[in-house]
């Protein structure tokens, strides 16, 4: 069945149409023929009967005269008119007595013997013939009998004619159809052919064809639809072509490497950037495995869905490894998957990242080391951004709070706020200073600079600045200033106190000259005395100055010594004055000390000297030397019952060159010297006195000389 329809399917429309028409026509003709024939056959009997009856009647009527007149010839002629009918095969006329009068036979008819006697009148169908017998009458008088015999011959003839006609018609139809085909061709199959050949051309790739639309029927619709379709196709194809070209352009010019691989990871596409990146020509790369270039991790990624792969290591053709960033997209195609990998060489970027990171680290470290922070303040929002060190400088952990200009003002020391506000208003400011108070209450000095940042239009958008914690510097500056001031005081004092004795010397030399000239011995002695004492004073002064300058450096290596040892030495040095003044000395306690022995000894020596010197009128001069532990400190003391010190001047006593008694010997350096020594041992010294005549008690601490010695634990044996 299939085969047959396949074969039929191959026939052209032309042929199919032709056959359809032909078959239709012929079929209908056949049907008509059959109909007619059938009708004929089915009605011939009645028709024949009718015909014969009518003819009989007619012939009878016509033959009546002939019989009446016994005109056999005319009767013969009358019967001969039956020639006109096909169906009457034989006719015979009988007289009334039954004798054959006339007869007729159809031309070509096989002679039929006339029945000798006519039968009874009536019709009789026998065996395909019809016999009619009727009377011939005239005015009611039977004259004779008519016998007619009809047969199928006419029918057959008729039928034969029909068939002949049909046959002819069939031929005509066939021919006509052939002619008709021409018309058909023009209006149906030609356009269809045209259409189909256009389709062929389009299929072959030629999209420029359009089919002329010549009619408004289905073919016309088909043609215009066809045109539309081919137009659409042409557009789609153009778009496709454009996309393809664009894609190819992108792939070719992309700065990133684009590699497409199949499911087995063989390279199908290797763009020019890939060639450059991996230093491998495409011809070499195509067909090989991508593992050459992007080893190992790619395997896992290959199984994963598409997306960014992050950072990997890739390998150039020569084996050099370099860092890349890659992303994969997956495309399912017939027969498998295509993976497209886009690769970017990030070695440059990584280098820059590292450099930036290193630079940032250096900056951060530099910030930390220099106690330097930077900040930025957005002028619109008053929001500030601080660097880590900026937070630390202000006593906060980095990022612990969001700084704003207002909150910052609160950090500024109250006294400096106005100054700060002005600087901020001004915008640009170099090195203005202010104090801040850290959350823990400590004060820091800051040196800040600011700069205005503007946008392209020139409007100020932000303030950018740096803080420098200059507290230490300030402190150092202050210390330096103090030292300088002290140096100045010192120099001033020195020049003054050296100049004084010098004036004495020169002046009294002058007097001496005079007095020697006048021979005034008393005056001479006085002059010489003044000169000598002035010179001595200068000597002592210079010695003590040298001592003072040395105090800054404890030049002797520290040794361990007992308190008693030092006291004994000091008492020995002042022994003369002590015995002269008859001073009682009481010493109590003992402890270990560790430090510069001569310096430490000097402390007690000076104190004892002073104590003796300022005994005044004291009848029972007494000096007490010892130490007490008070409030966790070991406090040494030297107490005397001498002239005492006016409490108003208790502080001054330790000043450089300060002497409370002008007449006393000494340069006024002693106590300043001691104070220096005590300070070098991180201690302090002060004097307590209730006033004139009430004695005085010098107290001091030297914690630095007690370190290195477990003073509390060890008590040297008392002598």
Partner 1 sequence: MRGEPINVLLVEDDPAHAEIVKRNFETFRIANRLIHVWDGEEALDYLYRRGKFSDSKDSPRPGVVLLDLRLPKIDGLEVLQTIKSDPDLRRIPVVILTTSAAEADKIKAYDSYASSYLVKPVDYAQFVDLMEALGYYWLAWNDFPFEPEND
Name the helix (H) or strand (E) containing 59: helix 13-68
Q: Is 496 in the site for partner 1 (CB under 8 A)?
A: yes
From the list 194-202, 281-289, 498-506, 622-630, the region that binds partner 1 by CB under 8 A is 498-506
Shortest CB 539 distance to partner 1, Å: 15
Q: Is 646 in the site for partner 1 (CB under 8 A)?
A: yes
Q: Is 715 in the site for partner 1 (CB under 8 A)?
A: no
Q: In whole angstroms, how large is the CA radius of gyration of the chain?
A: 77
Shortest CB 579 distance to partner 1, Å: 27
Q: Is 536 in the site for partner 1 (CB under 8 A)?
A: no
Shortest CB 623 distance to partner 1, Å: 23
Name the helix (H) or strand (E) containing 245: helix 218-253
- Binds partner 1 by CB under 8 A, chosen from 175, 310, 427, 510: 510
Q: How far is CA 638 from its chain centroid?
A: 81
The rounded distance, in Å, linking the Cα atoms of 383 and 373 is 16
Residues 6+ apart with CB under 8 A from 255: 273
Contact pattern for partner 1 over residues 511 through 530, marking x by CB under 8 A: x--------------x---x
- DSSP string for residues in 349-399: HHHHHHHHHHHHHHHHHHHHHHTEEEEEEETTT-BEEE-HHHHHHTT--TT
Q: Is 152 in the site for partner 1 (CB under 8 A)?
A: no
Q: Is 478 in the site for partner 1 (CB under 8 A)?
A: no
The rounded distance, in Å, linking the Cα atoms of 350 and 354 is 6
- Binds partner 1 by CB under 8 A, chosen from 34, 178, 229, 502: 502
From the list 107-115, 197-205, 410-418, 505-513, the region that binds partner 1 by CB under 8 A is 505-513
Q: Is 659 in the site for partner 1 (CB under 8 A)?
A: yes
The rounded distance, in Å, linking the Cα atoms of 232 and 227 is 8
155 vs 534, beta carbon nearer partner 1: 534
From the list 108-116, 176-184, 467-475, 507-515, the region that binds partner 1 by CB under 8 A is 507-515
365 vs 499, beta carbon nearer partner 1: 499
List beta partners, residue 592.
562
The rounded distance, in Å, linking the Cα atoms of 703 and 684 is 9
- Binds partner 1 by CB under 8 A, chosen from 658, 666, 684, 699: 658
Q: Is 386 in the site for partner 1 (CB under 8 A)?
A: no
The rounded distance, in Å, linking the Cα atoms of 664 and 653 is 14
21 vs 528, beta carbon nearer partner 1: 528
312 exposure class (CB count in 10 Å sphere: 0-12, 13-18, 19+): middle
- DSSP string for residues in 140-168: TEEEEEEEEEEETHHHHHHHHHHHHHHHH
Q: Is 167 in the site for partner 1 (CB under 8 A)?
A: no
Torsion of CA 652, 657, 661, 667, to 10 degrees: 150
- Binds partner 1 by CB under 8 A, chosen from 533, 562, 577, 679: 533
37 vs 535, beta carbon nearer partner 1: 535
- Binds partner 1 by CB under 8 A, chosen from 1, 663, 710, 713: 663
Contact pattern for partner 1 over residues 396 through 415, marking x by CB under 8 A: --------------------
Shortest CB 531 distance to partner 1, Å: 9
Q: Is 484 in the site for partner 1 (CB under 8 A)?
A: no
Q: Is 39 in the site for partner 1 (CB under 8 A)?
A: no
Shortest CB 662 distance to partner 1, Å: 3
Shortest CB 578 distance to partner 1, Å: 25
**Among 44, 52, 59, 56, residue whose Cα is nearest residue 128:** 44
From the list 91-99, 499-507, 568-576, 598-606, the region that binds partner 1 by CB under 8 A is 499-507
Give Cα separations from 265 to 79, 154, 262, 336, 362 (angstroms).
Answer: 113, 96, 5, 11, 45
Q: Is 187 in the site for partner 1 (CB under 8 A)?
A: no
663 vs 718, beta carbon nearer partner 1: 663
List beta partners, residue 465.
375, 450
Shortest CB 461 distance to partner 1, Å: 52
Beta strands in 576-684 (DSSP E): 584-587, 592-595, 622-630, 633-640
712 exposure class (CB count in 10 Å sphere: 0-12, 13-18, 19+): exposed
Q: Is 692 in the site for partner 1 (CB under 8 A)?
A: no
**644 in Cβ contact with 689 (< 8 Å):** yes
2 exposure class (CB count in 10 Å sphere: 0-12, 13-18, 19+): exposed
Q: Which residues bind partner 1 (CB under 8 A)?
A: 492, 495-497, 499-504, 506-511, 526, 530, 533-534, 646, 649, 652, 657-663
């Amino acid at each position: 069945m299939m085969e047959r329809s396949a074969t039929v399917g191959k026939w052209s429309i032309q042929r199919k149409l032709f056959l359809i028409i032909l078959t239709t026509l012929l079929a209908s003709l056949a049907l008509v023929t059959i109909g007619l024939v059938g009708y004929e056959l089915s009605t011939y009997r009645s028709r024949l009967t009718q015909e014969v009856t009518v003819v009989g009647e007619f012939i009878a009527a016509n033959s009546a005269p002939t019989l009446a007149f016994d005109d056999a010839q005319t009767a013969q002629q009358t019967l001969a008119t039956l020639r006109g009918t096909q169906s009457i095969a034989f006719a015979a006329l009988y007289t009334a007595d039954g004798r054959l009068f006339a007869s007729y036979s159809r031309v070509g008819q096989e002679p039929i013997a006339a029945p000798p006697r006519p039968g009874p009148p009536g019709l009789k169908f026998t065996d395909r013939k019809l016999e009619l017998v009727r009377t011939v009458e005239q005015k009611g008088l039977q004259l004779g009998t008519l016998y007619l015999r009809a047969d199928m011959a006419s029918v057959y003839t008729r039928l034969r004619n029909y068939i002949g006609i049909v046959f002819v018609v069939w031929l005509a139809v066939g021919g006509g159809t052939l002619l008709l085909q021409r018309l058909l061709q023009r209006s149906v199959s030609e356009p269809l052919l045209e259409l189909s050949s256009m389709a062929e051309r389009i299929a072959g790739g030629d999209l420029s064809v359009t089919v002329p639309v010549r009619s408004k029927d289905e073919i016309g619709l088909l043609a215009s639809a066809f045109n539309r379709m081919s137009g659409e196709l042409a557009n789609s194809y153009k778009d496709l072509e454009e996309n393809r070209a664009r894609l190819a352009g992108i792939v070719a010019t992309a700065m990133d490497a684009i590699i497409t691989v199949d499911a087995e990871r063989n390279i199908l596409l290797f763009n020019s950037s890939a060639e450059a990146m991996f230093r491998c020509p495409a011809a070499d790369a195509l067909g090989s495995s991508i593992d050459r270039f992007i080893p190992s991790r790619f395997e896992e990624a290959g199984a994963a869905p598409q997306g960014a792969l992050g950072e990997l290591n890739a390998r150039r053709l020569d084996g050099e490894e370099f860092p890349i960033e890659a992303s994969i997209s997956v495309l399912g195609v017939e027969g498998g998957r295509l993976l497209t990998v886009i690769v970017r060489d990030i070695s440059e970027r990584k280098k820059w990242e590292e450099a930036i990171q290193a630079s940032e680290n250096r900056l951060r470290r530099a910030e930390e080391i220099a106690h330097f922070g930077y900040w930025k303040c957005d002028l619109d929002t008053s929001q500030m951004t601080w660097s880590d060190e900026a937070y630390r400088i202000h006593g906060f952990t980095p990022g612990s709070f969001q700084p704003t200009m207002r909150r910052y003002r609160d950090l500024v020391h109250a006294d400096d706020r106005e100054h700060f506000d002005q600087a901020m208003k001004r915008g640009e400011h170099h090195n203005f200073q202010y104090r801040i108070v850290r959350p823990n209450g400590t004060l820091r000095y800051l040196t800040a600079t600011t700069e205005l940042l503007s946008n392209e239009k020139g409007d100020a958008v932000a303030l950018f600045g740096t803080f420098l914690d200059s507290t230490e510097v300030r402190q150092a500056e202050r210390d330096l200033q103090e030292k300088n001031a002290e140096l100045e005081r010192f120099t001033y004092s020195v020049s003054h106190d050296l100049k004084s004795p010098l004036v004495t010397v020169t002046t009294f030399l002058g007097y001496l000259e005079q007095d020697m000239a006048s021979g005034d011995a008393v005056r001479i002695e006085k002059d010489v005395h003044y000169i000598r004492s002035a010179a001595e004073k200068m000597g002592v002064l210079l010695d003590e100055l040298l001592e003072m300058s040395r105090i800054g450096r404890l030049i002797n290596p520290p040794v361990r010594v007992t308190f008693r040892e030092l006291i004994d030495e000091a008492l020995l040095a002042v022994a003369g004055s002590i015995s002269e003044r008859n001073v009682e000395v009481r010493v109590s306690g003992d402890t270990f000390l560790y430090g510069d022995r001569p310096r430490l000894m000097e402390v007690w020596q000076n104190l004892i000297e002073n104590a003796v010197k300022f005994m005044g009128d004291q009848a029972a001069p007494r000096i007490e030397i010892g130490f007490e532990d008070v409030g966790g400190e070991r406090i040494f003391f030297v107490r005397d019952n001498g002239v005492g010190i006016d409490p108003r001047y208790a502080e001054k006593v330790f000043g450089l060159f300060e002497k409370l008694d002008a007449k006393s010997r000494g340069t006024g350096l002693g106590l300043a010297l001691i104070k220096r020594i005590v300070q070098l041992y991180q201690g302090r010294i002060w004097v307590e006195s209730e006033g004139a005549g009430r004695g005085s008690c010098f107290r001091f601490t030297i914690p630095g000389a007690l370190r290195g010695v477990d003073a509390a634990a060890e008590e040297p044996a008392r002598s």
